[in-house]
Structure 1
Amino acid sequence: AYPREATIHGLFEAQVEKTPGAVAVVYGDQQLTYAELNAQANQLAWTLRGHGVGPERIVAILMERSLEMVVGMLGILKAGGAYVPIDPDYPAERIAYTLRDSGAEWLVTNRAAELRTPALPFAGCRVYAGESVPEQTGNPPQTATPEQLAYVIYTSGTTGKPKGTMITHRNVVRLLFNDRMAFDFNERDVWTLFHSYCFDFSVWEMYGALLYGGKLVVVPLMTARDPEQMVRLLRQERVTVLNQTPSAFYALSQREMEEADAELCVRTVIFGGEALAPGRLRSWQRKYPDTDLINMYGITETTVHVTYKKLGEAEITSGISNIGKPLPTLRAYILGDGQQLQPVGVAGELCIAGEGLARGYLNNPELTAEKFVDNPFEPGARMYRTGDLARWLPDGNLEYLGRIDHQVKIRGYRIECGEIEARLLAHASIREAVVLAREDEQGQAYLCAYYVSDEVVAVPELRSHLAGQLPDYMIPSYFVELEQLPLSTNGKVDRKALPVPEAAQTGSVYEAPGTPAQLQLVEIWQDVLGAEQVGIHDNFFMLGGDSIKAIRLVSRINRDLDVTLP
């Protein structure tokens, strides 16, 4: 059960009545109480209504991190409209596409954001937050209903064009308020708005704070990117609820472990956005044993979060990405070919049904029909095909296995890169790891592992570590050590920014050919492998060789050396 007739801004207004004088939002040395935030949002809402904004009308918001950004989103909701967040740092082409595709006729911005986007192609009505009519501060009459749009968030699409996911008030309300809530959020909590408001994790952060009477600390962009500054902010603001992508948290945790004291007030850390390596939480767990570590899986199309798992000693030791069980109002299915239910332990596509499902994709009925399909187990209902791989564990929890489109074929074998990553992370010295499939000049696929380590680890040691657990075709041809993994603006690993490996690392000491026969063989190897240098002790497969290249190699040796190898 949940308040089915409530709207996001209606719940906020109810909280304003309870705690009007409490601090609602903080940015640097600026702050607003609940009453002040409500009044400023109301001023904007009345202005927007005067310009024709109402239910099902889309309003773009272009704002840097600030108090005005929060005012802007609440003001649009109070006007009855739905907001489309746009980051001023986005490329001009993406900003233009979002404005064009969303069909927004209004743009809420401020002078600072406008200066950063001087060539903004927008012919509609511009409304400047903070410059609204001051005398109208009362709550506007509610016009939006729970089933109407609250926001549209654009995410990357496989076609190369972003797609706008349409979320209703009811989608959000049932996530934060139901009679089986696993969290005990309250007015004493201090939250960080760490993520970009273009990433739906921010929806959880913003409304989790403001609809429960907590304080929301808007994290400056440079602070969010700097673990040292972020640790300082957590201490100064006495933050109690912290939401992080795993990649961002690993760097934050490492910096916090350098502090001698244990003065953080964080009572709950909530992970989401990408696969978690539980073993990386060990040091935090030891320093802050009373902090609840919660792993949540979610996607924009199912309204932020889908599952919940509180991590204990068993989960941290296991090293698997245990994402737990579906949240109230949602159901999960693991399906194989032909939409057949998969048994426990067998991987399949994770599909989600229930009241968190988005309405669909804005102006994209074909993609909506492809991803939001009829639920074969519940007539008349829909389910969302996530494109993620998972499997049921014997205890009824789910294990996340990665993206289906991260499956690759190497030497004819289908491989889950996430499995290799998990094995690398089981090494005591490896802190972070990502495995990609790349193609060489001949178009042949090979595996490349990128890792961040606490100490120098020899490549042969890593190969030996993996060889004890994985077949040879799953051993990466390349190992690239990085000081840190590149992150996107949403705090996820930016796979496109990972460097192309310059040379395979075999771990063997180079020894040049010493005989005419060795010289001939080395030249053939270099040609077949596309390698600049091959030593007489190098391993063919460690240099990126595979079964197809091996056939080519044998053919060349037979022809050029006039021998007959099988």
Structure 2
Amino acid sequence: MTSTRPPAEWYDTDRAYPDGLTAVDLVAQAARRAPDAPAVVDAHGVVHTHGQLHALATRLAGLLHEHGIGVGDNVAFLGRRHAASLVAILGAGLAGAAFVPIGHRWPIERIVYVMRATRARCIVGLGEDAPLLDELAATCPDLTDVVLLDVDTEHPSMAPEATARTDPSAPPVEPDALAAAVLAERPRTVLQVGLGRGELLERVGPYVDLFTAVEPDGDAVDAAARWANENDVFADLVVGGPERVGELPPAAVDVAVLPAAPSPAQLAAVAAAVRPGGAAIVPGPAAPVEDRVWAAAAAAPDVGATVLRRTDLPPGVAGGRGPRVHTGWHLARQPAVDPPRALAPGDVAYVIFTSGSTGRPKGVAVSHGALVNTLWSCSELFPFRASDRLLQVVSFCFDLSIYDVFGVLSAGGALRIADEDELAEPALLARVLLEEGITLWNSAPPMFAWVLPFLTEADAPPERSSSLRLMFLAGDWIPLSMPDETRAVFPDLRIVNLGGATETAVWSCWYEIGRVEADWPSIPYGRPLANTRYYILDEHREPTPIGEAGQIYTAGTSLALGYHGDPVQTAQVFVPDPFRPGQRMYASGDRGRWLPDGQMQLLGRIDHQVKVRGYRVELGEIESVMAAATNVRSAAVVTVDRVGSLALVGFYTCREPGVPVETLRELLAATLPDYMVPTHLACVGELPLTTNGKVDRAALAGLAAPATAASGSEGRR
């Protein structure tokens, strides 16, 4: 390798692009050119033509505009594998708002976090989402509008299911059981409305810092106070009803205990005293009530009580009317006319959430200008056609889907949306690729590696197809054998490795894969797209010589605006560009190096480097050597902690006739230093995938721990 610095022309990528348009404008233009062309297709045929899809999107945009939702607002949608997701994306854009994808199978805590972090004004879903949307209505104070696209009636049922009041006819709860339910919350402070004979005070008081209560019977209060003094229990007891809760000590309590069938006034009074996240425990089974400050109700059948969880909404919203609910009935009465909007290239097009190192997801906000630059740059290199049909397999919560939607639809092509059954069975996807005239594929490499055996192995269909002409692979390592194997089935196929990050508007570099040389350690990462610059810098943020490793930084038009609502984290990774004053660059966390021909080689993640026996090890390097072995299809390496030190565990999949573990171990030992050879190797039928189609390393780590424990010291024979 040469030791010279990269020449200046490698950074000269500035080109004129259509920054006066938005991505949704490009889709609208295609709809006007060919309104009868198919736009959305599923297993049963054409769902919407371009004209129909655009009409639905404009009606949604008109509804949003009518209710004051536009530029500067966020519109969330539940990203089901349904044409409704496309209507939501395009409708939000036509209204001038940013769209925010949400997984309908995400944990409710994550959904609420994203909704509240973005202050989404509206959420779009289907009729089957009504219970979830109702729960969000109770916990997301910025939510003003809910849209159920597939419901045809004017007034859908949105009956509250998340909060509850008890049935007064239910049998009484035993004092010991009620006390157990209270103590299960591990409270420090408890409030009781109605002392009764003081049974709960006697059972719970000794275990908490402070027990407070309101009770209308003065004699009962006196008796309880005497017992508390005699037993050194801290208690603050007030004579009166729930209206006197405000006279108790001002600190918010952890648990409140109410009488059976509490009234709205009682719930409201207690809501002002219980901390957000605290509980209200009500004797008896649940019956519906409407109160937005009390979130999901949990029954405790062995206790006979109901637990209400306090949200962090202010008590004043309890019993509020909630957001407006709109349906397909309302959309059908909107004119199919684009509403007025005035967007600038720097306005937010979408906010998409990725995993965050703090444990909370981080929302990447991408501008219209950055998205259009990615669309235009890729269309110049790899033009889509009106006759194209893409098999849409990635989640609408994964940013690759954004190129699916805007790249294909703006060219006048069609999306063939794979349904949940097809995504669960790779043989079905293989059949669709062979039989339905699919021309485009876009996914992470492990997703296609999952399908490939059903196209190439002995029991694969004998057909070969000339329809698939362009494949985009991004977001993970491409096995060196995959391109040639794939072209054996699809002989006219162009395969492109696309790189970048969510923070760089889907993609920011590319490499078209032709001949794969036998001595390559990995598929090249490629060159930057137009108006995008790549730097490879050392720890002092100085350019590394060609051939030497450093951290990859990205600059230029493709950069995201930052992390929504998180200026601190934004400043940590979007740092000043030292080579263009006043501009920014993104610290990717990837390691790479320049090759002499101006291509980049990706060397793995900085955070995938681990210390093994005192040596710094890059897991991606081991994976590359494993994947390059004859008959190995894909590989992944994870670490497990064994008696305070890290051990490497390698997993791989094979083509027939397979690769014995010892054969692969011998190859690794002949190629890598001893400390880089995994302690344990396992051949598996398939690598587990995340919902984004990438290798699920957390799942592999779960498999690795028992595997290494079982193998003990025999793993390195």
TM-score interval for Structure 1 and Structure 2 normalised by the shorter chain: 0.7 to 0.9
> Which residue matches 1:409?
611
Distance 1:218 1:115 in 2: 25
Distance 1:460 1:134 in 2: 65
Correspondence for 2:53 among 37, 51, 74: 37
Instruction: Give the superposition deviation at 1:502.
Output: 3.3
Distance 2:491 2:43 in 1: 30
Q: Cα–Cα, structure 1 residues 428 and 49, in superposed 2: closer, same or farther, change >3 Å?
A: same
Report whether the alignment pairs 1:266 with 2:471: no
Deviations 1:254-289 (A, max 9, x none): 111222121251000110011212222222123323
- Aligned residue type for 1:4: D
Distance 2:400 2:330 in 1: 29
- 8 Å contact 1:88–1:117 — kept in the other structure? no
- 8 Å contact 1:275–1:400 — kept in the other structure? no
Report whether the alignment pairs 1:447 with 2:648: yes
- Aligned residue type for 2:706: E
User: Secondary structure in 2 aligned to 1:68?
Assistant: helix
Deviations 1:61-90 (A, max 9, x none): 124111111111111111110011101011
Deviations 1:71-111 (A, max 9, x none): 11111111110011101011112111111211112112221
Distance 1:282 1:399 in 2: 20
Distance 2:712 2:594 in 1: 47
- 8 Å contact 1:58–1:105 — kept in the other structure? yes
> Which residues in structure 2 correspond to 1:220-239 (within 5 Å)?
220-239=419-438
Distance 1:405 1:218 in 2: 34
Deviations 1:445-481 (A, max 9, x none): 1111111123453333222111111111111111122
> Which residue matches 1:127?
147
Instruction: Give the superposition deviation at 1:44.
Output: 0.6
User: Secondary structure in 1 aligned to 2:363?
Assistant: strand
Report whether the alignment pairs 1:280 with 2:476: no
Q: Cα–Cα, structure 1 residues 480 and 42, in superposed 2: closer, same or farther, change >3 Å?
A: same
Report whether the alignment pairs 1:502 with 2:706: yes
> Which residue matches 1:509?
none
Distance 2:482 2:711 in 1: 37
- 8 Å contact 2:88–2:124 — kept in the other structure? yes
Deviations 1:274-315 (A, max 9, x none): 121222222212332310011111211001111111111135
Distance 1:311 1:115 in 2: 47
Distance 1:39 1:355 in 2: 31
> Which residue matches 2:376?
177
Instruction: Give the superposition deviation at 1:226.
Output: 1.9
Correspondence for 1:143 among 342, 353, 357: 342
- 8 Å contact 2:465–2:490 — kept in the other structure? no
Report whether the alignment pairs 1:80 with 2:135: no
Q: Cα–Cα, structure 1 residues 479 and 259, in superposed 2: closer, same or farther, change >3 Å?
A: same
Deviations 1:356-390 (A, max 9, x none): 10000001101100010000111111000000111
Distance 1:297 1:119 in 2: 38
- 8 Å contact 1:42–1:138 — kept in the other structure? yes
Instruction: Give the superposition deviation at 1:423.
Output: 0.9
Distance 1:429 1:117 in 2: 49
Aligned residues: percent identity?
A: 36
> Which residues in structure 2 correspond to 1:25-64 (within 5 Å)?
25-29=40-44, 30-64=46-80
Taking only aligned residues, the RMSD between alpha carbons, in angstroms, comes to: 2.0
- 8 Å contact 1:453–1:481 — kept in the other structure? yes
Q: Which region of structure 1 is more displaced relative to structure 2, 271-280 or 68-77?
A: 271-280
> Which residue matches 1:361?
563
> Which residue matches 1:23?
38
Q: Unaligned regions of 5+ residues in structure 1, if any? A: 505-529, 544-566
- 8 Å contact 2:466–2:492 — kept in the other structure? no
User: Secondary structure in 2 aligned to 1:133?
Assistant: helix
- Aligned residue type for 1:64: R
Correspondence for 1:93 among 105, 109, 118: 109
Instruction: Normalising by structure 2, report the TM-score.
Output: 0.69
Distance 1:501 1:309 in 2: 37
Distance 1:219 1:248 in 2: 13
Deviations 1:168-205 (A, max 9, x none): 11111111125982112121111222211110000111
- Aligned residue type for 1:281: P
Report whether the alignment pairs 1:102 with 2:118: yes
Report whether the alignment pairs 1:244 with 2:443: yes
- 8 Å contact 2:455–2:489 — kept in the other structure? no
Instruction: Give the superposition deviation at 1:394.
Output: 1.5
Distance 2:66 2:337 in 1: 15
Correspondence for 1:421 among 623, 636, 645: 623
Q: Which region of structure 1 is more displaced relative to structure 2, 28-37 or 38-47?
A: 28-37
User: Secondary structure in 2 aligned to 1:339?
Assistant: coil
User: Secondary structure in 1 aligned to 2:706?
Assistant: coil
> Which residue matches 1:303?
505
Distance 1:531 1:44 in 2: 57
Distance 2:448 2:378 in 1: 30
Deviations 1:316-345 (A, max 9, x none): 773513121001110101111110111111
Q: How many residues align?
A: 512
User: Secondary structure in 1 aligned to 2:704?
Assistant: coil
- 8 Å contact 1:391–1:400 — kept in the other structure? yes
- Aligned residue type for 1:268: L
User: Secondary structure in 1 aligned to 2:332?
Assistant: coil
Distance 2:633 2:89 in 1: 38
Bigger radius of gyration among the two: 2
Q: Cα–Cα, structure 1 residues 458 and 240, in superposed 2: closer, same or farther, change >3 Å?
A: closer
> Which residue matches 2:271?
none
Q: Which region of structure 1 is more displaced relative to structure 2, 361-370 or 386-395?
A: 386-395
User: Secondary structure in 2 aligned to 1:304?
Assistant: coil
Q: Unaligned regions of 5+ residues in structure 2, if any? A: 1-15, 150-327
> Which residue matches 1:522?
none
- 8 Å contact 1:239–1:266 — kept in the other structure? yes
Q: Cα–Cα, structure 1 residues 359 and 503, in superposed 2: closer, same or farther, change >3 Å?
A: closer
Q: Cα–Cα, structure 1 residues 140 and 103, in superposed 2: closer, same or farther, change >3 Å?
A: same
Distance 2:384 2:375 in 1: 10
Distance 1:116 1:242 in 2: 32
Distance 1:318 1:364 in 2: 40
Distance 1:437 1:63 in 2: 33
Instruction: Give the superposition deviation at 1:115.
Output: 4.4
- Aligned residue type for 1:446: A
Q: Cα–Cα, structure 1 residues 122 and 234, in superposed 2: closer, same or farther, change >3 Å?
A: farther
- Aligned residue type for 1:36: Q
Correspondence for 1:379 among 581, 598, 601: 581
Instruction: Give the superposition deviation at 1:212.
Output: 0.9
- 8 Å contact 2:641–2:647 — kept in the other structure? yes
- 8 Å contact 1:279–1:319 — kept in the other structure? no
- 8 Å contact 1:297–1:307 — kept in the other structure? yes
- 8 Å contact 1:24–1:214 — kept in the other structure? yes
User: Secondary structure in 2 aligned to 1:196?
Assistant: coil
Instruction: Give the superposition deviation at 1:117.
Output: 6.3
